Chains A and B, each alone.
Chain A
Amino acid sequence: MRVLVRYFAVLRERRGKSEGWEELPEGSTVKDAYALLCPPAQLPVGYAINQDYVAGATELKEGDELVFLPPLGGG
C-alpha cells in the first residue's frame, strides 16, 4: 500500500525531503512505518494520520497522510 508521508524538523533534515509517497506492507501500523522509514527511529515521536493524533498501533490504509511528530517546540 502507498501512503503520503510528510517529514518535519529533525526528521525532514535526516530524510533529506519534506514529503513522499512511501510503499509499505499491508497491515502496517504507524509505528511499523516509523521503524521502516526513519531508522534507527530512536527519537520518540507522536503520530498523526490525516491531521489527527493516533496511537502507534493504528493500522494504515492506502492513501493515508502520515506524519511523525518529533518533540514539539511551539510557544
Chain B
Amino acid sequence: MVALTALPLHVPAIEATVAAPQNGAVLTFVGVARCTPAFGERPVVGLDYEAYAPMALAELLRIHTELCTRWPGLRLAMVHRIGALTLGEPVVVVCVGTPHRALAYDASRAAIEELKARVPIWKKEIYADGSAWTSNRP
C-alpha cells in the first residue's frame, strides 16, 4: 500500500495493512517533523511539504514492486504527508510485515532510503523570520 495525504498520519491504521498470518514481524519507521534545521542555526517552527503527486505515487509504486519482488512475502506500506505540518507530527510512515525480524529491518531501511532518494517530494523549513527549501543531499 502506498499513499500521499494532506491529512494527519494514523500509524496503527497503516500498520494494520501489513499484518498477515504468516508474518511474525511488523516493523514501523516514523519520520517526524523536527525542530533542528537541515542547515544553519535557525530553529524550525513548522514544515511544508510539496509533491509532484502523480509521479510521487508512481515512484512509490515502483519502489513497492521492486522490494516485494526482491523479497517475496514482504508486506509493505509507505505513506507520506504533504502540506503544512507542525513539529512532532509524523511526516512519513514505512511499515513492513515479514516472516522474521532480519528481513523486516533490511526491507524497512531499503524502503525509506529509496523513498528519500527517488520520490519527488520537497520540504520547506519554516522559521520565525522566514523559510527555506532544504534537501536530503546537501
A and B form one complex: yes
State which of B13-21, B47-55, B66-74, B97-105 sits at the interface with chain A: B47-55
CA distance A51 to B120 in the complex (A): 10
In the complex the two chains form, is A48's CB within 8 Å of B115's CB?
no
Contacts of A38 in B (CB 8 A): none
A9, A51, A53, A67: the one within 8 Å of B133 (CB): A9
In the complex the two chains form, is A6's CB within 8 Å of B52's CB?
yes
Determine if B123 is an interface residue (Cβ-Cβ < 8 Å): yes
Contacts of B112 in A (CB 8 A): 75
CA distance A71 to B31 in the complex (A): 19
Query: Contacts A51-B58, A75-B112 known; A8 to B136 CB distance under 8 Å?
Result: no
Q: Quick one: CB contact mask for A6-46 with B, threshold 8 Å, 1 for yes?
A: 10111010000000000000000000000000000000000
Contacts of B136 in A (CB 8 A): 71-75
Determine if B121 is an interface residue (Cβ-Cβ < 8 Å): yes
In the complex the two chains form, is A74's CB within 8 Å of B80's CB?
yes
Interface size class, chain B: 20 to 34
Determine if B10 is an interface residue (Cβ-Cβ < 8 Å): no
CA distance A6 to B56 in the complex (A): 14
In the complex the two chains form, is A8's CB within 8 Å of B52's CB?
yes
Interface size class, chain A: 10 to 19
CA distance A70 to B133 in the complex (A): 10
Q: Quick one: CB contact mask for B110-131 with A, threshold 8 Å, 1 for yes?
A: 0010011111111110000000
Q: Which residues of A contact B (CB under 8 A)?
A: 6, 8-10, 12, 48, 51-53, 67, 69-75
30 A-B pairs within 8 Å (CB atoms) are namely A6-B52, A8-B50, A8-B122, A9-B133, A10-B133, A51-B55, A52-B55, A53-B118, A67-B120, A69-B52, A69-B120, A71-B135, A71-B136, A72-B117, A72-B121, A72-B122, A72-B136, A73-B49, A73-B123, A73-B134, A74-B80, A74-B92, A74-B116, A74-B120, A75-B31, A75-B80, A75-B91, A75-B115, A75-B116, A75-B119
